[in-house]
């Protein structure tokens, strides 16, 4: 067993690509070793902006010997009546480079088949690595890849070196004209010289001597410890931001944590504005006091020695001052007119080439909001519709053009400064919620209603243009928005169905296409996929979800209640027998249609009893109690045991089918029982 090391040295990789690259590297390498039957120990990945690496403690020096048994054609096809081999037998042997005498006949459950045992002697691991590593590197997945120079290789960034060692030996191969070796490189500016690596186990220590902390978790720890030290020494609190911490960890090779300052006059700006300037544009952490108030300080993560900290601090302060000055300029300029005056400017901004301007979009949002207001008997309609017309106004302000991350927040700020009602201002901000999984939901009714209207209009609009998510591609974040609609509807427990909300959104788009009604089913299917995923994460079983979804329109308040009731019934020891009875009803009705039951045509005692019990159960069902369903089990079974449904008399037959439809309708109050799986109850 020997240690193995592969390092791919590149130009600086974007921080957001590094984790995916490492994940892909480990996945592909693990699969490769398993496929090649090579024993290996612990796998560790390393990464900096200039390198992706994988280290394995122990790798077998030789591939395992393998014995594989392959099955060929059936004996009856492989030999003719005289026992002579046919082309099928000859071809099978030839495909395996074997003689016919090496082929045997084996008995299986399906009959007699030709079979061959292939014994493969294991190759040397070094040779396998040498021939397969180039393809493995080429197969790594990133969100984006590029070509450079005259080469044909596509990779996340240009590759400058490849270090490949098995023990102390170089694994020789060539990738797009670049030869592998035993050379790595330290920090680009502090230690740019080549580093010869003789032993994979010394890799981390050699890089550290050359000012590179290759272990991602170690860099994160250094940064976190540096932040805690500054907090302790300065009696402050650095704003916790896991996303920013991950980003800066992937931006540096040799981190140093520095406290900087800016002029206190910028604290007069809305808090999120300087925070966004610091985070988004400069990758700085903002600093707060114990009460959460912003302080005129920031944290910058340097990529150099501590001796250079003062120079880095001064440079960071100078750059941040310029950015904050720009922000203040836009903030002052934007407020020279009230927010409402920006609405007219939305007519000049395109929402989508085939769907008109953003102004036309907010008119559609207002249309959907009116529908929701009617369903809710919402009293503050004037505030609702004014918020709908203002919700996108900040998109044409200077601040949001410069800092798109602040859309909604600046709209709320400008609305308040323009004298708008607080409920209107809050709704402008909250209509973007939730922005991602786990994000806050709108707390106010106006924000929730406009959030639903905006997101469902986006989904309907892009489905209309056939810009539908496929695979991992979702450029307009429609899956996230669908999940946001579902989560908001569930949280608010609104009385209208998702179906009618989608239909209303499509009605608002009627002027753009004649056949939008056909889109409703595909949009509902799209929502159902998101809904099922959400419900599964909440612990409900797949079959219960499918049963509840299939029975009625998608009123999410009622749907969750039905799922909970079905789940509770399923826990009863009597449920398997009830389910069997319900499935008997469903099976016989698969190709029939409903009709009215005629009592005078009920002749047999069993069918009369089933009808009586069904009517009695219907009268006793409650929204929160469906235990009366258990009373249908015996009458259903007695009916099928004693009554011939397909009677020779057509009228009798149709009446019995109508009776069964009446029974099924009772079960349908909860869900489609045919979709529920039978399971043993302890």
453-470 tens-digit pLDDT: 999 999 999 999 999 998
Q: Binning pLDDT at 50, 70 and 90, where does residue 513 land?
A: low
Q: 265 pLDDT exceeds 80? A: yes
Q: Binning pLDDT at 50, 70 and 90, where does residue 551 land?
A: low
Q: What is the pLDDT of residue 591?
A: 60
Q: 165 pLDDT exceeds 90? A: yes
Q: Binning pLDDT at 50, 70 and 90, where does residue 251 land?
A: very high
Q: Binning pLDDT at 50, 70 and 90, where does residue 635 land?
A: very high
Left (φ > 0), alpha (ψ -120 to 50) or beta: where does 354 sit? Answer: alpha
Write the pLDDT tens digit of every residue in 295-344: 999 999 999 999 999 999 999 999 999 999 999 999 999 999 999 999 99
| DSSP letter, residue 345 | G
Q: Binning pLDDT at 50, 70 and 90, where does residue 555 land?
A: confident
Rounded CA-CA distance 35/581 in Å is 49
Query: Helix or strand or coil: residue 165?
Result: strand
Nearest to 500 by CA among 552, 461, 561, 550: 552
Residue 106 to residues 93, 97, 115, Cα–Cα distance (Å) = 15, 20, 6
Q: What is the pLDDT of residue 83?
A: 86
Left (φ > 0), alpha (ψ -120 to 50) or beta: where does 90 sit? Answer: alpha
Supply the DSSP string of 543-575, one letter for each residue. HHHHHHHHHS---HHHHHHHHHHHHHHHTSTTH
Asked if 171 and 180 count as a contact pair (C-beta separation under 8 A), the reply is yes
Cis amide linkage into residue 111, ω under 30° from 0: no
Dihedrals φ, ψ of 95, to 5°?
-65, -25
Q: 681 pLDDT exceeds 60? A: no
Within 405-476, residue ranges assigned H as helices are 409-417, 422-430, 445-464
Rounded CA-CA distance 415/388 in Å is 13
Nearest to 252 by CA among 278, 273, 223, 277: 223
Q: Binning pLDDT at 50, 70 and 90, where does residue 621 land?
A: confident
Query: Helix or strand or coil: residue 576?
Result: helix
Q: What is the pLDDT of residue 65?
A: 84
Supply the DSSP string of 46-89, one letter for each residue. EEETTEEEEEEEEE-SBPPPEEEEEEEEEHHHHB-TTS-B-HHH
**Tokens describing residue 223:** 């940064």
Residue 113 to residues 16, 75, 92, 311, Cα–Cα distance (Å) = 53, 5, 11, 78
Dihedrals φ, ψ of 104, to 5°?
-120, 170
Q: What is the pLDDT of residue 590?
A: 66
Q: What is the pLDDT of residue 250?
A: 96
Asked if 72 and 78 count as a contact pair (C-beta separation under 8 A), the reply is yes
Q: Binning pLDDT at 50, 70 and 90, where does residue 107 land?
A: confident
Q: What is the pLDDT of residue 227?
A: 97
Write the pLDDT tens digit of every residue in 346-382: 999 999 988 899 999 999 999 999 999 999 999 999 9
Q: 682 pLDDT exceeds 60? A: no
Q: Which residues contact 344 (CB under 8 A, 6 or more apart)?
A: 359
Q: What is the pLDDT of residue 196?
A: 96
CA angle 383, 389, 392 (to 5 degrees): 120
Average of per-residue pLDDT across 620-625: 77
Of 572 and 409, the structure prediction assigns the larger pLDDT to 409
Q: What is the pLDDT of residue 440?
A: 94
Q: Which residues pair with 7 in a beta bridge?
A: 53, 163
Q: 221 pLDDT exceeds 90? A: yes
Write the pLDDT tens digit of every residue in 1-41: 999 999 999 999 999 999 999 999 999 999 999 999 899 99
Give this prediction's pTM.
0.79
Q: 498 pLDDT exceeds 70? A: yes
Q: Binning pLDDT at 50, 70 and 90, where does residue 588 land?
A: confident
Q: What is the pLDDT of residue 120?
A: 78
Percent of the chain with pLDDT over 90: 72
Q: From the CA atom positions of the chain, what is the Rg in Å?
A: 34
| Lowest-confidence region among 225-234, 554-563, 617-626 | 617-626
Q: 518 pLDDT exceeds 80? A: no
């Amino acid at each position: 067993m020997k240690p193995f090391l592969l390092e791919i040295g590149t130009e600086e990789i974007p921080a957001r690509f590094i984790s995916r690259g490492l994940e892909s590297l480990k996945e592909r390498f693990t699969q490769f070793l398993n496929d090649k039957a090579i024993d290996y120990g612990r796998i560790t990945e390393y990464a900096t902006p200039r390198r992706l690496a994988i280290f394995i403690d122990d790798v077998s020096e030789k591939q395992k010997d393998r014995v594989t048994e392959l099955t060929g054609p059936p004996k009856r096809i492989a030999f003719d009546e005289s026992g002579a081999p046919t082309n099928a037998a000859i071809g099978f042997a030839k495909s395996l480079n074997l003689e016919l005498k090496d082929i045997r006949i084996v008995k299986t459950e399906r009959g007699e088949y030709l079979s061959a045992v292939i014994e493969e002697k294991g190759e040397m691991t070094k040779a396998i690595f040498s021939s397969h590593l180039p393809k493995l590197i080429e197969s790594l997945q990133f969100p984006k890849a590029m070509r450079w120079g005259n080469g044909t290789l596509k990779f996340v960034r240009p590759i400058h070196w490849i270090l490949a060692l098995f023990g102390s030996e170089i694994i020789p191969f060539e990738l797009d004209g670049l030869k592998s070796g035993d050379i790595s490189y330290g920090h680009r500016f502090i230690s740019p010289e080549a580093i010869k690596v003789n032993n994979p186990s010394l890799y981390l220590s050699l890089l550290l001597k050359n000012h590179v902390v290759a272990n991602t978790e170690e860099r994160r720890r250094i940064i976190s410890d540096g932040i805690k030290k500054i907090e302790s020494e300065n009696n402050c609190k650095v704003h916790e931001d896991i996303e920013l911490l991950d980003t800066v960890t992937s931006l540096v090779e040799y981190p140093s944590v520095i406290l900087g300052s800016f002029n206190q006059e910028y604290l007069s700006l809305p808090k999120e504005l300087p925070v966004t300037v610091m985070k988004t544009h400069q990758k700085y952490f903002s600093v707060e006091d114990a009460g959460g108030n912003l302080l005129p300080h920031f944290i910058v993560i340097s990529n150099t020695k501590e001796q250079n900290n003062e120079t880095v601090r001064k440079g960071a302060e100078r750059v941040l001052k310029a950015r904050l000055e720009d922000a203040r300029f836009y903030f002052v300029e934007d407020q020279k007119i009230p927010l409402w005056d920006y609405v007219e400017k939305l007519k000049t901004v395109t929402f989508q080439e085939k769907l008109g301007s953003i102004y036309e979009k907010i008119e559609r949002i207002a249309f959907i909001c009116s529908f929701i207001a009617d369903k809710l008997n919402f009293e503050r309609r004037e505030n609702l519709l004014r918020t709908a017309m203002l919700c996108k106004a900040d998109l044409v302000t200077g601040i949001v053009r410069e800092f798109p991350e602040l859309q909604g927040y600046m709209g709320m700020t400008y609305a308040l400064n323009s004298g708008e009602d607080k409920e209107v201002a809050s709704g402008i901000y909250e209509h973007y919620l939730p922005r991602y999984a786990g994000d806050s939901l709108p707390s106010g009714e106006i924000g929730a209603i406009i959030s639903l209207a905006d997101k469902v209009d986006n989904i309907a609009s892009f489905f209309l243009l056939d810009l539908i998510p496929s695979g991992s591609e979702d450029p307009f974040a429609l899956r996230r928005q669908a999940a946001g609609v579902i989560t908001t509807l569930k949280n608010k427990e609104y009385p209208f169905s998702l179906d009618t909300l989608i239909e209303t959104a499509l009605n608002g788009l009627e002027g753009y296409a004649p056949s939008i009604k056909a889109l409703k089913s595909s949009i509902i299917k799209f929502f159902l996929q998101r809904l099922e995923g959400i419900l599964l994460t909440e612990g409900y079983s797949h079959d219960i979800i499918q049963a509840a979804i299939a029975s009625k329109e998608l009123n999410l308040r009622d749907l969750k209640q039905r799922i909970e009731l079905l789940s509770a019934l399923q826990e009863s020891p009597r449920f398997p027998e009830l389910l069997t009875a319900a499935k008997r009803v469903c099976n016989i009705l698969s190709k029939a249609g409903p009709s009215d039951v005629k009592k005078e045509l009920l002749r047999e005692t069993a069918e009369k009893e089933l009808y009586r019990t069904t009517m009695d159960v219907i009268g006793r069902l409650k929204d929160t109690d469906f235990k009366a369903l258990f009373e249908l089990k015996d009458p259903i079974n007695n009916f099928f045991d004693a009554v011939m449904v397909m009677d020779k008399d057509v009228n009798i037959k149709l009446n019995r089918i109508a009776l069964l439809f009446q029974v099924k309708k009772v079960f349908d109050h909860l869900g489609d029982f045919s979709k529920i799986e039978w399971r043993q109850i302890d």
